[in-house]
Structure 1
Amino acid sequence: MRQSELFTKTRKEAPADEVANNAKLLIRAGYIHKEMAGVYSYLPLGMRVLQKIENIVRDEMNKMGGQEIRMATLHPSEPWKQTGAWDSVDVVFKIHSRTEKEYTVGQSEEEIVVPIAQEYVTSYKDLPLAVYQIGQKYRDELRAKSGIMRGREFTMKDMYSFHETQEDFERFYAMMKDAYLRVYARCGLVAKATEASGGAFTKKLSYEFMVLTGAGEDDILYCDSCSYCVNTEITNEKEGNVCTRCNTGVLARATASEVGNIFDLGTKYPDDFGFTYKDRDGEDKKPIVGCFGIGITRLMGVITEALSDENGLVWPKEVAPFEVHLTEIPSADTKVRAETEKLYAELTTRGIEVLWDDRDVRAGEKFAESDLVGIPFRVVVSEKTIAGGTFEMKARATGEVSMVDREELFYILNSKF
């Protein structure tokens, strides 16, 4: 894609009323547009990042046997009243229609997915079952001050699983825990599976997946030797204590951002809806339900918080909007345009995603904008590089600059992507 055709532009300053670093950077770099506190529109570059995160999540959920569906966003109030959530959950948006009926725009999907499953799961032969969706959610947050990490409107992946036995659920739960860690690793993050409260969903403990960031809203304790990690809200352990799991490591305290969670809901929702199936003995039995959530837009915000530097965004290769920022230095010499066009064609033919900065803008401005936008590699074509028979290549994550010939360039990019 030619950058001159991109309708958005970078900005020197973020809106004065924006306090979150992730939103400031994403607005300045032209990825999102702020509509109001906690609500953002996603522009072409932002959409490309979101779609790549969604595709990673979709790939891992499909590997787990998940079947993708799309559930309604506008919910009738009746199932919410049936579960008690209508009055007990304080972040629910409530709507009155012209006919005086009550609705909500979903902030979670239990009240929709359980009745759907109830209609189709009638026998033990129908289990286990796992369905998921990637869709919009809405929460009436009192203070939406964390950019896209905590919004009033956001995109989320919800998976729900239904099981015949607790043993089968626990097997799947462990597999999903590993799948979540793979998602975050593919997004360039190191996430910690953290023991936590079940919150409004269940009285049982859950796992939250935490990434260490200064912008986080949670405090965690983690072992410096093993994988043990716990939210400080549910433990009396202290920083500096010896880890009770491995008995060798020491607990460290850190601020972290949640990027996902997994819950054992037990039979709470089948109880609410009278959901039973026939077991192997022909008896009525209630399925065990699991809930597995990943905030897609939140994940984009956490990547921004965790990996950006003083110059701008730094996207990991799997979620970057483009793989190469091809930077043409304007020149009266037509060879520069011809060489850039040739390289652009060669890269795109090889399946490499390229943003070609073909604008008539001075070099320093192009380089600063390239750092702000955060594409993994910048490749420069100029009179100087043509004279030397090379290209200038910069790795955004490390800042390393090298002069490479055509063969070296293709080799490096092929090995990275």
Structure 2
Amino acid sequence: MLQSKLFTKTERTFPKDEEAANARFLERAGFIYKNSAGVYSYLPLGWRVIQKLVAIIREEMDAIGGQEMFMPALHDKRYLSATGRWDVDVVFKVLDGKNPKPAFSLSWTHEELITELASKYVHSYKDLPFSAYQIQTKFRNEPRAKSGLLRGREFMMKDLYSFHRDEEDLDRFYDIVKEAYFNVFKRAGIQAVYTLAAGGDFTSSNTHEFQAICPVGEDTIYVCSKCAYAENKEISKLSGGGRCPKCEGKIKEEKAIEVGNIFPLGAKYSDAFDLRYTDEKGEKNPVVMGSYGIGVSRLMATVVEMYHDEKGIVWPESVAPFKVHLLELAGASASPAEAGRKSAKKIYEDLQKIGVEVLYDDRKASAGEKLTDADLIGLPFRLVVSPKTGDKIEVKKRNEEITKIMSFEEVIKLLGN
């Protein structure tokens, strides 16, 4: 992509109303735009990151048999009323223009809808197990939307739901999803900690969260330094400096960001919507369910919180909007500048031909401005072409301070293409 054609621009200063690093850098670098508190637009660069994350999540969900679908974001009141969740604080309620009281809600989760939907198709034990997921916008009426994309009123989420004949089969699939989630976070550059947690508004049972240890995290977890067993402070009887109940290792108190969660739902929603199956003996039984979420936009924010320096974002290669930032730096005289310009264009075209994603800074801007923007945007590789480099290319990794002069062939080898 030609940077001169990118309709968004970087800013010289950070937004004054943002404290979280993810919001400060993403807004300044032109990845997102703040429409109102907790509500953001994803600009072209930001949307490319979201799509990289979505692709990773989709691959891992498909690999465990998840069937992708899409459900409405506008929910009739009867759904949440059936499970007693209509009056949960975070629900956005919507008037339909006919009745004085809200008749609909904006989705913050989809257990009710998919349970009713499943009741149309599940009748026999032969119809089980199965799992279905979607990647969709969700809404939470957060009283204090803060921390950028970490806690928003509108956000993107992947929610997976599984349906089983008994708890034993749910436990089997629960472990499969657990491993798939570890794969997602590892591929996104995040080391997640599997953490015992409360069920909240979803279930009365204990559940599990995937927590990324980070100083700005809103959650406090206790984690074993030896076996990595962890509990959320909200339910834990552990304390920092204590001993692990599993291996007697030392417990550390850590701040963390919740990037995913998995819930064993039992028959709570099946009972509410009469979701039952007939077993081999002809007896009716409630379907046992599980629910599994990953906040896609929150995951993007977490990556920025964990991968940035004073100059800007340092994107992991797997989720970067582009792999390469190609900079054309012009010299003082016309002819060397023109020579450098042709060289950069040729490199851009050749990289595209072999499938390298390139953001080509072809703008008529100063070298200082281009280099500053490259650090701020944070693509994994920076290639500089100028009259000084001649027929070579100056190469720098965003997460390293060393610059090297290489031939095009050496650059291709470095990029792994």
| Length-normalised TM-score, structure 1 | 0.97
Give the SS at the match of 2:382: strand
2:321–2:379 CA contact under 8 A, matched in 1: yes
Q: Are 1:379 and 2:383 counterparts?
A: yes
2:260–2:294 CA contact under 8 A, matched in 1: yes
Deviation at 1:391, TM superposition (A): 1.1
Amino acid at match of 2:296: I
C-alpha distance in 2, partners of 1:347/1:243?
A: 52
Deviation at 1:145, TM superposition (A): 1.1
Show the counterpart of 2:367.
363
C-alpha distance in 1, partners of 2:399/2:287?
A: 47
Deviation at 1:20, TM superposition (A): 2.1
Q: Are 1:29 and 2:29 counterparts?
A: yes
Deviation at 1:330, TM superposition (A): 1.9
CA gap of 1:147–1:410, structure 2 versus 1, over 3 A, is: same
Show the counterpart of 1:170.
171
CA gap of 1:399–1:282, structure 2 versus 1, over 3 A, is: farther
Listed as ranges, the gaps of 5+ residues in structure 1 are none
C-alpha distance in 1, partners of 2:21/2:341?
A: 37
Q: Are 1:254 and 2:254 counterparts?
A: yes
C-alpha distance in 1, partners of 2:400/2:176?
A: 34
Deviation at 1:166, TM superposition (A): 1.2
Q: Are 1:58 and 2:51 counterparts?
A: no
Number of aligned residue pairs:
411
Show the counterpart of 2:187.
186
Amino acid at match of 1:254: E
Q: Superposition pairs for residues 244-393 of structure 1, below 5 Å? A: 244-247=245-248, 249-331=249-331, 332=334, 333=336, 334-386=338-390, 389-393=391-395
Amino acid at match of 1:178: E
Show the counterpart of 2:397.
395
1:212–1:306 CA contact under 8 A, matched in 2: no
Deviation at 1:399, TM superposition (A): 2.9
C-alpha distance in 2, partners of 1:275/1:117?
A: 7
- The one-character-per-residue Cα deviations of 1:180-231 (angstroms, maximum 9, x if unpaired) are 0110110011111111111111111111011111211001111111121111
1:196–1:207 CA contact under 8 A, matched in 2: yes
Deviation at 1:99, TM superposition (A): 1.8
RMSD between aligned residues: 1.1
- The one-character-per-residue Cα deviations of 1:168-188 (angstroms, maximum 9, x if unpaired) are 111110010111011011001
Q: Are 1:96 and 2:95 counterparts?
A: yes
Deviation at 1:384, TM superposition (A): 1.1
Deviation at 1:398, TM superposition (A): 2.4
C-alpha distance in 1, partners of 2:165/2:250?
A: 40
State the identity %: 47
2:315–2:380 CA contact under 8 A, matched in 1: yes
1:379–1:393 CA contact under 8 A, matched in 2: yes
Give the SS at the match of 1:86: coil
- The one-character-per-residue Cα deviations of 1:103-140 (angstroms, maximum 9, x if unpaired) are 00111101111001111111111110100000000110
Show the counterpart of 2:231.
230
Q: Superposition pairs for residues 48-197 of structure 1, below 5 Å? A: 48-87=48-87, 89-100=88-99, 102-197=103-198
Deviation at 1:371, TM superposition (A): 0.5
C-alpha distance in 1, partners of 2:310/2:176?
A: 38
Show the counterpart of 1:414.
416
Listed as ranges, the gaps of 5+ residues in structure 2 are none
Amino acid at match of 1:403: I
Amino acid at match of 1:151: G
Amino acid at match of 1:200: D
C-alpha distance in 1, partners of 2:176/2:401?
A: 37
Deviation at 1:400, TM superposition (A): 2.9
Higher mean displacement: 207-216 or 348-357: 207-216
Deviation at 1:15, TM superposition (A): 2.7
Give the SS at the match of 1:8: coil
1:330–1:361 CA contact under 8 A, matched in 2: no
1:265–1:289 CA contact under 8 A, matched in 2: yes
2:330–2:387 CA contact under 8 A, matched in 1: no
Deviation at 1:75, TM superposition (A): 0.5
C-alpha distance in 2, partners of 1:180/1:282?
A: 37
- The one-character-per-residue Cα deviations of 1:263-294 (angstroms, maximum 9, x if unpaired) are 00000001111111111211111111000000
- The one-character-per-residue Cα deviations of 1:15-67 (angstroms, maximum 9, x if unpaired) are 32222221111000000000111000010000000011011001100001000
C-alpha distance in 2, partners of 1:293/1:197?
A: 15
Give the SS at the match of 1:203: coil
Amino acid at match of 1:372: L
- The one-character-per-residue Cα deviations of 1:211-268 (angstroms, maximum 9, x if unpaired) are 1112110011111111211111111211111222122x21111100000100000000
Report runs of 4+ in structure 1 exceeding 4 Å deviation: none
| Length-normalised TM-score, structure 2 | 0.97
